[in-house]
Structure 1
Amino acid sequence: MSDRFEGSAHVELVDWVDVPAGELLRGTPVDDMDGLVRRYADTGVPVEWYRKEAPRRRVHVPAFRIGRTQVTVGQWAPFAEETGRPGATDAPDDHPVVGVRWDDAVAYCHWLGERHGVLGVRLPTEDEWERAARGDDDREFPWGPEYRTGLANLVDLGLGTTTPVGSFPDGASPFGVLDMAGNADEWTSTLYAPYPGAPDDVPLVEDWAFDPHITRGGAFRHDRDLARCARRHGAYEKDLRSIGVGFRPAMSA
């Protein structure tokens, strides 16, 4: 479902995807950790990073709506002009905006709703994001069980920068959400914390992170392990532009 909003200088298109209420197979079973390390040994990711995904748990996620694509430079520009908020706006209008702080992403969602009379626009929760990416099953990637080069803008493509949103339609999630893997890493509204029942060695806080909120999906500079639906990440560097942090809006149904 698409809602077109007429602004004074721009026509903004928010293409909302309706995700029905359902069960999410959240996270990764503890017994799968050693297998993950073996499958992604070439990335050098230690098992400790994966253990944040444990345990696997079935959780109910109420119905919600989420943007089919990440917020673009063109959609961000009028907000930045009005509010003076930072964000990389020198890319083409159809690329995702990156370099966005969490509080600025939240402010954009509020601005979007207030400007156009749409109540409750916000960032997705971590569970909503994973359900939008994973659907009803335990697929490892938004498109299915196996990684395939060419379905997402990750480091294996060698582009080194963003691409127009929606450039990889064959990498869509079960609900038709695009770029859930790669292009821009995405803020969620969820503060990092271990999942209930997590292994004892999972840290209670990630005090080395630049921001305590969870990001999901990975960016153009990341390897395929961050394209996994269950992968919990964060903004671990201050330069949010160089690590490709962006976002997409959501709202309750």
Structure 2
Amino acid sequence: MITTVKRWTGVEVRALREARRMSIIDFAAHLGVSDRMVSKWEAGGANITPRPVNQAALDTSLARLNGEARVRFTEFVAPEVLSETRDTDVSDKPTQIRHPADGKLMTWIEEGIYLAGPRDEPVWLDGYYLDIYPTTNADYARFVAATGHPAPQHWGSAAPAIEIADHPVVWVTWDDANAYAVWAHKTLPTSQQWEKAARGTRGNIYPWGSQTTPAKCNVRGSGPGCTTPVDRYKSGVSPFGVYDLCGNVWEWLATPTTTTRFELKGSAFTSPFDRSTPSIFNDADRSMLDDDTGFRCITAVLTP
């Protein structure tokens, strides 16, 4: 069986039943449980915990929805899920913290379902903190000073030039990015964690919505042709308030594609706008380093 969602809520069980347009009795038979169990789940709100076999049946039922039924499911979960208005599943007042190890500002991405990939497949993720900005040259300089790790080649010394201190660090391999994450008591995000932070829960095409607006990000043709400060494109932030999830630099992820290759997301100042959507696939060998590739980090648990 397919296991997409890790833990269902009563709202989502009801949404799945209504997406399939089934009565409680028919839906119970579809899952292989009693109708009393379905009623108990739906009344339980966020406090239900289906047995693993029932969890798997719900996951599989969700995965087998056709396109029209999937739209109904997401609309039941969040009524404005397909609109261009604000993502109503995302808090107006996000929880932000300053990480105790590297001092970077992070925001909480709440647990729940988002629409993933080019086909907008519903996927559940647990909550996590994500860096609001990519790792900058100034951030990376503190790591270099603390560990003796080699500095990126474009610095020309052990520290970056002041004029690029707030630009994303580049010329880093996957292993460089991972070494920073380990030092900071964090990890690199998975492909799905990164994409949810970029698209929100409603399946936005871009972080700011679904409008084709190249001016909202640093890509080829609309940007200056080089990296920019990580807080410059304020109108291009994601529903979670995260910057530079479209353009500026590609970002290394924790998701492997082969034994030596890892996914990248985000596009860069070198990318055409039609390559900038957060759902698009890209990967590279872990030894690759370039002037348009950097990273950011996540953590599920704060540790000093």
Offset at 1:212? 0.9
Structure 2 letter corresponding to 1:16:
M
1:84 maps to 2:179: no
* Residues paired across the two proteins, number: 198
Q: Using structure 2 for the length normalisation, give the TM-score.
A: 0.61
Structure of higher CA gyration radius: 2
Partner of 2:225: 160
User: Of residues 111, 119, 122 in structure 1, which corresponds to 2:187?
Assistant: 122
Offset at 1:158? 4.5
1:220 maps to 2:269: yes
Structure 2 letter corresponding to 1:18:
W
Instruction: For CA contacts below 8 A with separation 6 or more, give which structure has more relative contact order.
Output: 1
Once the two structures are superposed, residues 180-232 of structure 1 have per-residue CA deviations (whole angstroms, 9 ceiling, x without a partner) of: 0011110110012xxxxxxxxxxxx6x9xxx5100000111111123212111
1:246 maps to 2:294: yes
Offset at 1:86? 3.8
CA RMSD of aligned residues (A): 2.2
Distance 2:293 2:135 in 1: 11
Moved over 6 A (4+): none
- Which is strand-richer, 1 or 2? 1
2:109/2:127 contact within 8 Å kept: yes
Q: Aligned in 2, Cα 1:137/1:165: closer, same or farther, shift over 3 Å?
A: same
- Which is helix-richer, 1 or 2? 2
Q: Aligned in 2, Cα 1:236/1:224: closer, same or farther, shift over 3 Å?
A: farther
Distance 1:180 1:233 in 2: 14
Q: Aligned in 2, Cα 1:220/1:237: closer, same or farther, shift over 3 Å?
A: farther
Q: Using structure 1 for the length normalisation, give the TM-score.
A: 0.72
Offset at 1:112? 1.5
1:105 maps to 2:177: yes
Structure 1 letter corresponding to 2:182:
H
Q: Percent identity?
A: 31
Distance 1:159 1:65 in 2: 31
Gaps of 5+ in 2: 1-95
Distance 1:94 1:5 in 2: 20
Q: Aligned in 2, Cα 1:21/1:168: closer, same or farther, shift over 3 Å?
A: same
Secondary structure of the structure 1 residue equivalent to 2:98: strand
Once the two structures are superposed, residues 123-153 of structure 1 have per-residue CA deviations (whole angstroms, 9 ceiling, x without a partner) of: 0011000000011111111101122122111
